[in-house]
Structure 1
């Protein structure tokens, strides 16, 4: 009887519709697990809300360290804060950059290809960003590099050297209305003294220009001199041009790569990071100070009021006596307020390194303000001593300007990446830990809001989050906060694929955010 009824049920108008009915019912069944797995991979595994929150936080962190903090760090060095010229003056402003030394395999030979690319990525950005922000904030009239533009420049063949030359020009791009002087070589560019290779020396001069030059800036004669080649005694081809240039000079401001003679009576001052004495040493292709004879010859021939040198990487302000028979006695290095720069003495400032890879905590640049209204001899000035950020020498003043830390942003970026990956981990691959942390997070947030409420209401009443307590229907704003920030949407079960995919996307978005900031300045 049951069989007949079934047959009668599946027969309509003499037609067998059993197959059609089964197909129709099959279509009405809920989707199976297998069909759900065919959905978009992104819909199944990507935690969009969490990634968007992390990206917004990364924007805030990156913008602070790549724009806000560098800007306000340089604002502290504004010219009017320290130069103290008469109100009607129109001084010439120069930025002197010491030892940029764009890094290469000779900088860190043991780091490997990936480590080197990461180092170059961040160090090049540090130099490039500061170079452009210096122009925007300080608006200098000219920029002078004191040498050591490259790190392994003296080792490269022509093909590699050209590649690094283009890289250097990308890092230190041209600035509209700003004269840039890059022709002073350092020992990392061409070698030092008798170790200078003439072919590589000629290559550097062909692309950057002749280092031995006198330029007029702010009614001052600025001497750019190649002391690494001048120290060569064995190859006349290397030193001849610099020797002839030195013999014809007398100028108030001198800029070179190697510091003049240093002795035990001279102190660098409190602004030097290292508490050890200034190193007077030599080694392969380097020497920390010039030879005594060459130093005294430069001082007595040129009689400068100021000298600037690089190479050491740390700040040092010393005072050299100017005399044809200057001896190494303490009285020669004792000066009074009646002594004048360029007559009895010359101030020398050894520049801080400008790169984040220079081995010091606080990189810096040297600012030089020059105002010479017709060469007045009675222009008032004040004597300065080592240990001060501003050195005053009659018609020229120089000031140490600290750059933002290069290491601090990296520490914050790495910490943020670690915390972001951990948050993804507890929401996708260790869900039990995630639920415990989520519960503690909500309770802690409730206590925090309660404390804020007591402070806001004078301690008389606390503020609660109803959507956490479940006492009152939440407002639209509270539901939004609950959905976006408070609820973590932890996965039902551990899923390594979800963890791996979201971690990769998180790190990739941070990288491209950094890349955009690096290329947009």
Structure 2
């Protein structure tokens, strides 16, 4: 028997022809930071050397891990996490802590009041607000103001769940400027914005407010359901007086409802009046310059603007009777509408087919107007006015120029209604007018109109937006309790007054941004100082690019440089292999001195394998400091920005 052998010499398979599991693990290990490679290598060193890791070595590794985790950069990240949570969550919740209904309501224990939230002048920021503001600052302004409004309105719903939310006008900032199908803006700068732009703004209003309104459904106790009414127009929605374009008003009323209306809420009659249109009654016509009745035929040139509001006031008794009768029917759970007797009647007896007449029940009336009522100049607004607090602590102060709501006007606005309009308005609403709510001024103002019958109090509600000139935006919560007999509408208890108000202030967003800016400046200073110290004193560094910091194995014997091949690597036993990252050059490690010696350069350094302190690979001191600073800033920024985006994205 013979055997034949191949003459070709035996060649073992190449090491790189097969990706063994050990090779993959080595590659993964090489991709880790140096300190992590050392820690993993140390875990493997004990068994390979045939011995277990001593408690002293475990303790040393623990200290090393702590030093790697407890760093200045990580401390700054934790501080930023807390800061952003405070600025985006905590400060908003804390601002509303004293606004809970039970904190200020003073009703009997058995009372079931109707809760109302008044929101004024959100004025969604648009190109009309800051016409000269460039991109991207303009886009960021829109983003952050919308977020503030959405967050604030959401908190109102979640925390208080008001039964009704009433807006007091100026829903948009430039609503009067955007073209309709038949009109264009009076200002040439805005004529490029068409009707489609207004409709996008309407959808934006819905996303900010309407979508959040349902969040309060679980807290409402009104058996008739919750309501959000935003039909009262402001001068930024329509214009003012003779400057109003009828198609602009028609568009607003088509989407939001009639500006002149009567609603019964909590056994109180709310009368909303479009006073920006009504004000055209005593304004000069832009074409003829005449006012009032104007021409000899008794017709005012502005009649198309003010006539609707005037007719509504003239028929106030009818409107109130209809609304109050409907409310009583709802309380009695009666079917909707009127019932008739089915009978044949003579044509000459039409009275049998007439609707039954409604009678005014006489519920307490509340007037809603965007523009505040007239008052004497220098009438003080009280202690809650932000811009100018009272000049004296005297509560009976009759005049205070700085604390007052200024009497004046300008393009498409007027700070207060004229005395004639105000008298006509109050007299036609009814003698039982108990309160007035208005907006427009953006700041809070509270006055008692002693010149009118019943001396009704008026509250001008703060703007809800932080972009409207007030540092602390706000809103007003109102509690209504007027128990009545559903059959007659008469009060069952002698309650006076039947409503209570509470001003709620929201956070100062500008101060929050300033605090963020100061925190950013402090962060940069700390990281810059650290980069300078680490560059000048590298032996004190604890960054990830540092070399071994602990005596992990015994000291290697010195081997002359001339006897070492350039491809040979010496390392502490059990810590390095051909797959480790210490394969670029030979070195000696002296653990008792915490430094390395490069055989190729013959120099010592605390960090960086033979680099001189501060040489920065030829970049110089400034380049090295800049590189370290940028690395730390980017490391902190990645985490902080991710956290901030999460906070503003979710809410």
Q: TM-score, normalised by structure 2?
A: 0.57
Deviation of 1:377 (Å): 8.3
1:274 aligns with 2:387: yes
Give the counterpart of 1:403 among 506, 513, 537.
506
1:91-149 Cα shifts (integer Å, max 9, x gaps): 00001011111212222222211111222222211111111111111221111110111
Q: Which runs of 5+ in 1 are unaligned?
A: 1-14, 18-22, 25-35, 324-342, 382-393, 440-489
Check the 8 A contact 1:62/1:514 in 2, yes or no. yes
* 492 and 65 in structure 1: CA distance in 2 versus 1, 3 angstrom threshold: farther
Q: CA deviation at 1:185?
A: 1.2
Q: How does 1:29-428 map to 2 (within 5 A)?
A: 52-156=74-178, 157-174=194-211, 175-176=213-214, 177=217, 178-233=226-281, 234-249=301-316, 252-264=365-377, 266-275=379-388, 276=402, 277-303=404-430, 304-321=433-450, 323=452, 343-374=453-484, 375-376=490-491, 379-381=494-496, 394-428=497-531
Deviations 1:347-379 (A, max 9, x none): 111111111112123221111110001143872
The verdict on how the C-alpha distance between 1:235 and 1:505 changes in structure 2, with shifts beyond 3 A counting, is: farther
Provide the C-alpha distance between the structure 2 equivalents of 1:437 and 1:396, rounded to a whole number of angstroms.
69
Q: Quote how far apart the aligned CAs of 1:429 are.
A: 7.0
- Residues in 2 aligned to 1:121 and 1:111: alpha-carbon distance in whole angstroms: 14
What is aligned with 1:518? 648
**1:381-435, Cα deviation, whole Å (9 max, x unpaired):** 4xxxxxxxxxxxx111112111122222211222222233334444447844798
Q: Evaluate the alpha carbon distance shift between residue 510 and residue 179 of structure 1 in structure 2; reply closer, same or farther with a 3 A threshold.
A: farther
Name whichever of 241-250 and 508-517 sits farther off.
508-517
Task: Label 1:434 to 1:510 Cα distance change in 2 as closer, same or farther (>3 A).
Answer: farther
- Rounded to whole Å, the distance in 2 between the matches of 1:427 and 1:377 is 74
> For 2:450 and 2:528, how far apart are their aligned partners in 1?
66
From the superposition, tell whether residues 51 and 162 of structure 1 become closer, same or farther in structure 2 (CA, over 3 Å).
Answer: farther
Report SS of the residue matched to 2:210.
Answer: coil
Question: Cα offset for 1:42?
Answer: 9.8
Q: CA deviation at 1:89?
A: 0.4
Is 1:228–1:258's contact at 8 Å kept on the other side of the alignment? yes
Per the TM alignment, residue 90 of structure 1 is displaced from its structure 2 partner at its CA by 0.4
Shift in CA distance, 185/498, structure 1 to aligned 2, threshold 3 Å:
farther
Change (3 A) 1:144 1:507: farther
Computed over aligned residues only, the root mean square deviation of the Cα atoms, in angstroms, reads 3.6
Structure 2: 5+ residue stretches without partners: 1-8, 17-26, 36-67, 179-193, 218-225, 282-300, 318-363, 389-401, 485-489, 543-612, 617-623
Aligned partner of 2:569 in structure 1 is none
**Secondary structure at the residue paired with 1:270?**
coil
Q: Are the structure 2 counterparts of residues 85 and 238 from structure 1 closer, same or farther at C-alpha, using a change threshold of 3 Å?
A: same
For 1:287-315, what per-residue CA distance to the aligned partner results, in whole angstroms no more than 9, with x for missing partners?
Answer: 00111111001111114211011111111
Provide the rounded CA distance (Å) in 1 between the counterparts of 2:313 and 2:276: 13
User: C-alpha separation between the residues in 2 aligned to 1:433 and 1:214?
Assistant: 77
1:428–1:253 CA distance, 2 compared to 1 (3 A): same
- 1: CA distance between counterparts of 2:537 and 2:271? 66
The corresponding residue for 1:30 is none
Per the normalisation by structure 1, the TM-score is 0.70
Structure 1 pair 316–430 and aligned structure 2 pair: CA distance change class (3 A)? same
Q: Secondary structure at the match of 1:401?
A: strand
Distance 1:41 1:501, change over 3 A: farther
Tell whether the 8 Å contact from 2:483 to 2:492 is kept in structure 1 after alignment. Answer: no
User: Aligned pair count?
Assistant: 410
Structure 2: distance between partners of 1:153 and 1:263:
31
For 2:82 and 2:378, how far apart are their aligned partners in 1? 50
Deviation at 1:43, TM superposition (A): 9.1
- Larger Rg belongs to: 2
Aligned 8 A contact 1:431 1:492 in 2 = no
> Structure 1 205/62 Cα, relative in aligned 2: closer, same or farther at 3 Å?
same
Contact 1:322 1:346 (C-alpha < 8 Å) held by counterparts: no
Higher helix share: 1
